[in-house]
A and B are shown apart, each in its own frame.
Chain A
Amino acid sequence: MSNAIEINNLCKEYPGFALKNVSFSVPRGLCCGFVGPNGAGKTTTLKAMLGMVHKSRGEIRLLGKPDGDITAKEDIGVMFDQPYFQEDWTPFDIEKGIKPFYRGWDSAQYRRYLTQFGLDHNKKFSAFSRGMKMKLSFAVHLSHGAKLLLLDEPTSGLDPLARDEVLDIMREHLVKEDRTILFSTHITSDLERIADMIVYISDGAVSFSGDKDVLLSKHCVVRGGKLPEVKRKHAIGLREYKDGYECLMEVDNIGGLPPDAMTERATINDVVVYMERRSRYA
């Protein structure tokens, strides 16, 4: 299976922050959750992939094409935390403006999506709710036949129903062969529901990149009375109380824990929360 996204040793320096040799790849046809704390480098990585920020070093290939090859963008749909269209544009204006850029634009499909998503063709963009705006943006990108969707927190700020609808749209998109999604999010339940793999980034560096199930099977939550000193180095996001502790630990490292220690299967939420604790309090 070829990769839709390949990033090798991506670096970008800012005063006070840097992307440090970010490397990961996403095979075609998968949905990848891009997770990490605020300011970890998710948006910078996405922008570097699109050439919106200039990388200092590294290699980026999207859909097999190197960065700088603008033809790749024909097959890429991008959504940031909110769609950026002019406030007075209607869905009709948006089609008029965007359609000429994409050879694969399907007007009939666009109208079908507008109807399916309950979007009024003649309503101004400013009059749509946030959820509607996201759906409109999906309608645009799905109508030009994007094979790769790069989404920056597409569900943040949406009410549960709108979030559910957006996730359904993403899932439907993936039904077709050769469609890939990379989406950054803070909402771990979204990852549980839709992600096949996860890239975890913290402080500008990728800590984990791989299959979601592998990530979950590799880690467990450990709770107990007192964590032995030799085990502290293996504890991820250690939280200590007066009468006990809890942390995330790789399954390979749980041998040798005291008998009172209890382990349980980690959820995505556990992994993300403990990893974020580690990065924040390291």
Chain B
Amino acid sequence: MLNMMRLDWLGMRTYRSRFVISAISSVAWGILFHTGLVIPYLVWGMFDASLYCFDAEEKGKLNQLYLTLPISRKTLISARYILSLILQFIGIVAGVVFTVVSSRIMYGRAIINEHNFIPTPESLALIVCASLLFCAVLSLVIHPILHKFGYAKAKILGYALPMYGSIILIVVFILVAARVEAVGEFMDSALQWALGNAVLASVAILGVTALFFVASYALSLRTYAKRDF
């Protein structure tokens, strides 16, 4: 499995500059809007970057190589999921470090958003868990579709739409919450409850996240196992 992860990573080499772009843009979001956005953006960016392997695989027709290697299709899928989780974990670590450091520097100096954000262990834990949950939901949609149809066939419906559509939905939801009092109040109270019960909320979110990832993995295994190349 480790060998397959290495090979997948090697296949994505031409895309590695995009990882740096993702990190820089996350930091920019933090400076411009809210340092609390850095972790979600970085984790999302790393999840997005992990999907480059599908594009790389098709451009280099690497699946023709992978399927002739002495590994099972299950190993191939497992390696891909673990690589994705490792990249998300890197996003979390980098995001937490940057959030803590930048919140001290940027406190009261956010360029566009006047709100301040002081990270606490509770808030950081919730942000990390929520970010992972968001990626797990995306994974449940994206991974099985890309494993079934490949990147070229499914890049609009199976990748771009869920990936960027979900961001648009979140922005719309935030705008609605800001304008519709009832929604805003509900969100505030939910957030306060979560911050007051951070351990319980984090465990619950992580549990749901794990379920989504496991479901995504199982679906990918099934769809990829049936695919003809």
Contacts and interface: CB of A to CB of B under 8 A. Distances in A.
Nearest to A93: B10
Interface in B35-54: none
A97 B60 contact: no
Contact of A53 (B11, B14, B59, B228): B228
Contacts of A96: 6, 10
A76 to B, nearest CB: 7
A84 B64 contact: yes
Contacts of A97: 6-7, 10-11
A253 interface: no
Interface residues of B, number: 24
Given A47-B229, A53-B228, A100-B6, A84 B61 contact: yes
A101 B71 contact: yes
Nearest to A81: B64
B14 to A, nearest CB: 5
A88 B64 contact: no
Interface stretch (A27-35, A67-75, A222-230): A67-75
Contacts of B64: 52, 80, 84
Interface in A63-106: 70-74, 76, 78, 80, 84-89, 93, 96-98, 100-102
A101 B2 CA distance: 10
Contact of A52 (B2, B226, B229): B229
A210 B140 CA distance: 51
Nearest to A137: B65
A84 B62 contact: yes
A239 interface: no
A232 to B, nearest CB: 41
B14 A88 contact: yes
A101 B67 CA distance: 12
A84 B72 contact: no
Contacts of A76: 68
A86 B56 contact: yes
Q: Does more than half of chain B's interface fall in helix, strand or loop, or is it mixed?
A: helix
A88 B60 CA distance: 10
Interface in B5-22: 6-7, 10-11, 13-14
B60 A85 contact: yes
A73 B229 contact: no
A54 interface: yes
Interface string B61-85: 1101101111110000000000000
B228 A101 contact: no
A85 B229 CA distance: 16
A98 B67 CA distance: 12
B166 interface: no
Contacts of B72: 70
A88 B15 CA distance: 11
Nearest to A71: B70
A51 interface: yes
A85 B68 contact: no
B60 A73 contact: no
Interface in B113-135: none
Given A52-B228, A84-B60, A87-B60, A78 B68 contact: yes
Interface of B: 2-3, 6-7, 10-11, 13-14, 56, 59-62, 64-65, 67-72, 226, 228-229
